[in-house]
C-alpha cells in the first residue's frame, strides 16, 4: 500500500485527461478520468470511469463505478460517433465542438464522505449529497439526499444513514475541512465514539 501525499498516486494503466487532484488521492489501476476534479483524500478503485464530474473530499468510489457517463445524440437521425467525431471518418470534416462543450457542461457532483458501490452508475447532472451511500450496481438518475442510502435501477432511497438532526449537525461540523494534523489527533475518536458522542464532543 503506498504512502499517500500531496501528489496523486496513480496505479498502472490509468488514463487521465484534464483532471485535477487534491492531496492524499489514489486512483486505481486501469481507471479513466476525464475533465473532472477529485478533492482531498478521495479515491477510486480499479477501472472506475469518471467524466465531467466534481468529486468532493473523502469520497470512496469502488471498482467499475461510472460517474458522469457521456451521452450520444438522441434527437438526430443517428446516435453514432460519426456525427461528432467526424474526423475519425473523413479528412475534411471537423468535430462537433458544440456537442462536446454541452457534454462537458453536464457535471455530476459527488459530495464529501460518500460511498459509491461497485459497478454503480451516476448519471450526468446528478448530485450525490454529503455522506450518502450508493449501493452496488445502482443506476442513479436523480439527486441523492445527504446521508441517505440508495439502491436499485433506477436508484431509490432505502433508508437514512442517520436521523436528519444528526445528518444536519455533521454537515454543519464539516469535519472534512479539518487539517491533516487535526484528523490525526482525532483519529481514535473517529474510530471509537458513537456518532452522537462524536458530534457532542466536536459540534
> Catalytic residue positions?
72
What gap in Å lies between CA 115 and CA 59, rounded to an integer? Answer: 6
What gap in Å lies between CA 23 and CA 181, rounded to an integer? Answer: 13
Sign, Cα dihedral of 67, 68, 73, 75:
positive
Q: How far is CA 157 from CA 59, 128, 148, 186, 196, in A?
A: 19, 12, 7, 31, 23
Where do we find the cell 479515491?
A: 43
Residues 6+ apart with CB under 8 A from 199: 166, 169, 170, 173
Amino acid at each position: 500500500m503506498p504512502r499517500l501525499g500531496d501528489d496523486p498516486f496513480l496505479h498502472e494503466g490509468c488514463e487521465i485527461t484534464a483532471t485535477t487532484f487534491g492531496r492524499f488521492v489514489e486512483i486505481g489501476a486501469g481507471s479513466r478520468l476525464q475533465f473532472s476534479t477529485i478533492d482531498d483524500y478521495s479515491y477510486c478503485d480499479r477501472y472506475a470511469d469518471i467524466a465531467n464530474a466534481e468529486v468532493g473530499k473523502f469520497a470512496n468510489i469502488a471498482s467499475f463505478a461510472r460517474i458522469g457517463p457521456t451521452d450520444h445524440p438522441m434527437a438526430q437521425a443517428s446516435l453514432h460517433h460519426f456525427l461528432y467525431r467526424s474526423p475519425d471518418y473523413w479528412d475534411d470534416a471537423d468535430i462537433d465542438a458544440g456537442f462536446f462543450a454541452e457534454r462537458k457542461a453536464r457535471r455530476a457532483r459527488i459530495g464529501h464522505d460518500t460511498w459509491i458501490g461497485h459497478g454503480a452508475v451516476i448519471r450526468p447532472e446528478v448530485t450525490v449529497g454529503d455522506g450518502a451511500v450508493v449501493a452496488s450496481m445502482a443506476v442513479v438518475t436523480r439527486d441523492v439526499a445527504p446521508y441517505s442510502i440508495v439502491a436499485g435501477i433506477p436508484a431509490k432511497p432505502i433508508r437514512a444513514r442517520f436521523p436528519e438532526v444528526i445528518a444536519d449537525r455533521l454537515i454543519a461540523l464539516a469535519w472534512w475541512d479539518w487539517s491533516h494534523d487535526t484528523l490525526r489527533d482525532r483519529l481514535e475518536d473517529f474510530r471509537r465514539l458513537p456518532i452522537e458522542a462524536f458530534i457532542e464532543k466536536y459540534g
